[in-house]
Amino acid sequence: MIDQKLVKILGNKDVIALAFGAMIGWGWVVTAGLWITEAGSLGAILAFAVGGLLVILVGLTYAELASALPLAGGEHVYSYKAMGRVASFITTWAVILGYVSVVAFEAVALPTVFEYLIPNYSQGYMYTISGWDVTATWVGIGMAGSILITWINYRGIKLSTAITFILTLLILIAGVLLITGSTASGNASNMQPLVENGMAGLLTVVIMTPFMFVGFDVIPQAAEEIDLPQKKIGQLLIISVILAVVWYIAIIFGVSRVMTPGEVSGSELVTADAMAKAFGDSRMMGNILVLGGIGGILTSWIGFFVGGSRAIYALARAGMLPKSLGELHPKYNTPHKAILLIGILSTIAPLFGRPALVWLVDAGGLGLVVAWLMVAISFIILRKKAPEMKRPFKLAGGATIGWVAVVMAAGVTLLYMPGMPSSLIWPYEWVIIGLWIVLGAILYKVSMSKYGVEYADEQMNKEIDRIA
């Protein structure tokens, strides 16, 4: 087999659009009302400030490691160099759960959008899940979108990032219109109550934030395809995180300023309704916001196909998953089999209906914060274990930032555990986690038996030595 490599073609705007577009997604349109209802306007802003601080601190550790070890798989490489093969698989498998859950989330979110644009389009009753009726047209829209996004990613990262850049501009236009319109026509009294449900409400929103901010780590996943100085990779990663933090807080402020609490709780698509109200109950402006939301769905969808497929590719290249998943397409230089696998999972997601939105957010969020925790630990270990390692983007705060990131990531991880006011829902969300762990254990054991421990270590060390 020809030894193919991923192609280095991504520049500054491609990297920013890929990460920012992945982080923004559709959550700001469909769940902003839930954030405000659960925690209040100020409470939701504080929750995203806390979540944003966590992501910035974790992002700083990522930035140093991504610049030092610019290899596909990101977390896979850092955790291997710091803690070895088993820790590397656990970390990467956890982040793949996060990526796949986002991809599946977008496949469920897309048909939800059409309910705003085309009322009563959902027809052809199939069955009911958790009290929600699944229909043929609803499922069909989600599946069609999934097939389209799979095809775009299959054809290569150049096409993926070009489309992402255009759609990101659409998102920004819609968001800026909402924020400026609500600032002009809204008033501070609508933001009452500032805090809802006390600490429980705040924590409920905090555990949603990892899922909303995930996307910056697509940059290290695609590191081998970035044609920039290594230091620049770390800088762009942090810039993308800061932009996302500002974006989410501004959206919460805009929505809560123009919508009353009653309107927020009674709206199925609160951000679109806020846009319409901000411009004199203009249905057209609400539709513009929804189009921006569709742009967010597509950018996030594309970004996490990139991240998930590269993470799977990295594990397969090291012999920790079936090697066929690590093959690159002879023409498009994409990990096409990994892309098709994610595409299949994405395409079946709409069959679980709208209730799957919440399950995927929470279960995927746990996978993400576990991966972030492992990266922060790897950062600390490598500061001691490999002080001589070249670090183009070296943090001035040293290991202190790493320790703060570890404490915060561990604290957020605990919020998902049983007994906490914001714990995962039994049985749905814990079943997703359990099945993912079992699947990973089986695939890892089978791969290790087939290819051998020595092969995995040899492949990993070869890749690390290549960029040392």
For residues 98-108, average pLDDT: 88
Distance CA 306, CA 310 (A): 6
Contact (CB, 8 A) for 15 and 286: no
Which carries the bigger pLDDT value, residue 32 or residue 154?
A: 154
Contacts of 79 (CB under 8 A, 6+ apart): 87, 88, 90, 91, 92, 374, 375, 378
**Residue among 167, 431, 392, 123 at smallest CA distance from 301:** 167
The pLDDT tens digits of the residues spanning 295-331 come to 988 999 999 999 999 999 999 999 999 999 999 999 9
Q: Tell me the pLDDT tens digit for each residue of 144-161.
A: 999 999 999 999 999 999
Give residue for tokens 């846009």: 275
Q: How many helices (H) and strands (E) does the chain have?
A: 20, 2
Is residue 26 scored above 80 in pLDDT? no
Q: What is the pLDDT of residue 200?
A: 87
- Reported pTM: 0.88
Query: Which of 142, 176, 177 has its CA nearest to residue 354?
Result: 142
The answer, yes or no, to whether residue 2 has pLDDT greater than 50, is no
- Per residue in 105-164, pLDDT tens? 889 888 988 887 888 899 999 999 888 899 999 999 999 999 999 999 999 999 999 999
- The secondary structure element, H or E, covering residue 126 is strand 125-129
Least confident span in 14-18, 28-32, 167-171, 254-258: 28-32
CA distance 6 to 3: 10
Distance CA 201, CA 179 (A): 24
d(CA 148, CA 144): 6
21 versus 423: the higher-pLDDT residue is 21
195 burial via Cβ count (<10 Å: 0-12, 13-18, 19+) = middle
Rounded-to-integer distance, Cα 17 and Cα 128, Å: 38
What is the percent of the chain where pLDDT is above 70? 99
Give the pLDDT confidence of 48-69 residue by residue, as tens digits. Answer: 999 888 889 889 999 999 999 9
Q: How far is CA 55 from CA 397, 452, 462, in A?
A: 16, 36, 31
CB-count exposure of residue 282 (10 Å: 0-12, 13-18, 19+): middle
Cβ neighbors of 233 (< 8 A, separation 6 or more) are 15, 63, 66, 67, 70, 219, 220, 223, 226, 393
Residue (of 58, 98, 97) closest to 378 by Cα position? 58
C-alpha span between 19 and 109 (Å, rounded): 19
Mean pLDDT of the chain: 90
Q: Which CATH number fits domain 12-467: 1.10.3720.10, 3.20.20.70, 2.40.160.60, 1.20.1740.10?
A: 1.20.1740.10
Q: What is the pLDDT of residues 379-410, one digit of tens each?
A: 999 999 999 999 999 998 778 999 999 998 89
d(CA 25, CA 300): 5
CA distances from 177 to 211, 285, 419 (A): 25, 9, 42
| Every domain of the chain and the residues it spans | 12-467
Angle 388-394-397 from CA coordinates, rounded to 5°: 110
Is the per-residue pLDDT at 3 higher than 70?
no
- Residue among 34, 367, 366 nearest 205 (CA): 34
pLDDT at 468: 62
